[in-house]
């Protein structure tokens, strides 16, 4: 239902959670993607990958990473493989892998194509 305030309500909830995060010890990272702004629906994978890994790759590579990262128990290994030769401690990698991420994909129907 367009115009019912779904996005506005969600963004307000996120603002409230961030403001109260010190009280409730809820730490999370919020990612807001507007699918209407994507030139290619597959770029959604790239944007999520970029949020986790910190660099940009092609959508196909990002999708493969996300599939493995979200399914595997050894996320640190998958993550360290993705960042390559960047020097990072196991502890820092673990913290990044365990970080809670809230991802809002607005206008999700824009990702649907004939293909």
Strands (E), 47-100: none
β-bridge mates for residue 104, sequence order: 32
What pLDDT sits at residue 105?
Answer: 95
Torsion of CA 77, 82, 87, 88, to 10 degrees: -50
Helix (H, G, I), strand (E, B) or coil at 63: helix
Q: Tell me whether residue 82 is in a domain.
A: yes
Place of tokens 């367009």: 2
What pLDDT sits at residue 47?
Answer: 97
Q: Tell me whether residue 10 is in a domain.
A: yes
Whether 115 has a pLDDT exceeding 90, the answer reads no
Structure-model confidence comparison of residues 59 and 26, the more confident one:
59
**What is this structure's pTM?**
0.86
Place of tokens 């993705």: 82
User: Do the Cβ atoms of 53 and 65 come closer than 8 Å?
Assistant: yes
Q: Tell me whether residue 1 is in a domain.
A: no
User: Do the Cβ atoms of 107 and 36 come closer than 8 Å?
Assistant: yes
Q: Are strands 29-34 and 101-106 parallel, antiparallel or unpaired?
A: parallel
| Total structural domains within the chain | 1
Domain that holds residue 79: 6-111
Whether 89 has a pLDDT exceeding 80, the answer reads yes
């Amino acid at each position: 239902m367009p115009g019912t305030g779904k996005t506005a309500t969600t963004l307000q909830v996120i603002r409230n959670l961030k403001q109260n995060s010190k009280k409730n010890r809820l730490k999370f990272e919020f990612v807001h993607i507007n699918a209407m702004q994507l030139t290619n629906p597959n770029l959604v994978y790239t944007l999520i990958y970029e949020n986790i890994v910190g660099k940009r790759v092609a959508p196909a590579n990002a999708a493969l990473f996300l599939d493995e990262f979200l399914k595997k128990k050894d996320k640190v290994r998958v993550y360290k493989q993705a960042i390559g030769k960047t020097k990072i401690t196991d502890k820092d990698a673990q913290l990044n892998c365990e970080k809670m991420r809230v991802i809002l994909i607005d206008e999700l129907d824009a990702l649907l194509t004939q293909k």
